Structure 1
Amino acid sequence: MIKHIVMWQLKDFAEGADRATNAALMREKLLSCANIVPGILSFEVALAQPGLEATYDVVLYSEFSSKQALEAYADHPLHQAIKPFIGAVRDARQCMDYAV
């Protein structure tokens, strides 16, 4: 199994919207990818919440049955279609994939 975790810090203002609006839209776009290929075992998108520690605004936690399933997800047209928006609103990105 492969775990795929990505965190994004968002710009204060981008694409005509503020950080909170873009975070919510980004969450919706990411969640639309939750079942796009076989082998996605878990797919969770969360936003930073007031009162809880967070140094990033959006986090994706996902699990894939194999490296091939993760690659199929990464290459899928729906996933590719949301990348320009994410690139436009993000200020920083951190990612880690690991096998368990």
Structure 2
Amino acid sequence: MIKHIVMWKLKDEAEGADKATNAREMKRRLDACAALVPGQLAFEVMLAQPGLEASYDVVLYSEFADRAALQAYAGHPVHQAVVPFIGAVRAERQCMDYEV
């Protein structure tokens, strides 16, 4: 199994909206990527929550049966459609994929 975790810090303003608005829109768009391909086992998008420690604004936690499933997800047209928006609103990105 491959775990795929991505965290983003967002710009204070981008695409004509503030950080909070863009975070909600990013979550909405990423949530549409749940269950896109066979072998996509888990998919959770969360926003930083007031009162809880967070050094990033948005996090994606996902699990895939194998590398082929992760690659199929990454190349899927629905996922690819989200990429330009994320690129426009993010200030920083961290990612880690690991096999368990």
TM-score of the superposition, structure 2-length normalised?
0.99
**What runs of 5+ residues in structure 2 fail to find an aligned partner?**
none
Superposition pairs of residues 19-98 of structure 1, within 5 angstroms: 19-98=19-98
Count, aligned residues: 100
The CA RMSD over aligned residues, in Å, is 0.3
Show CA shifts across 1:62-84 (max 9, x none): 00000000000000011011100
1:92 deviates by: 0.1
Using the TM superposition, give the Cα deviation of residue 21 of structure 1 relative to its aligned residue in structure 2, in angstroms.
0.3
**Quick one: which amino acid aligns to residue 42 of structure 1?**
A
Give 1:17 shift: 0.3
Query: What runs of 5+ residues in structure 1 fail to find an aligned partner?
Result: none
Q: Distance in 1 between matches of 2:74 and 2:67?
A: 10
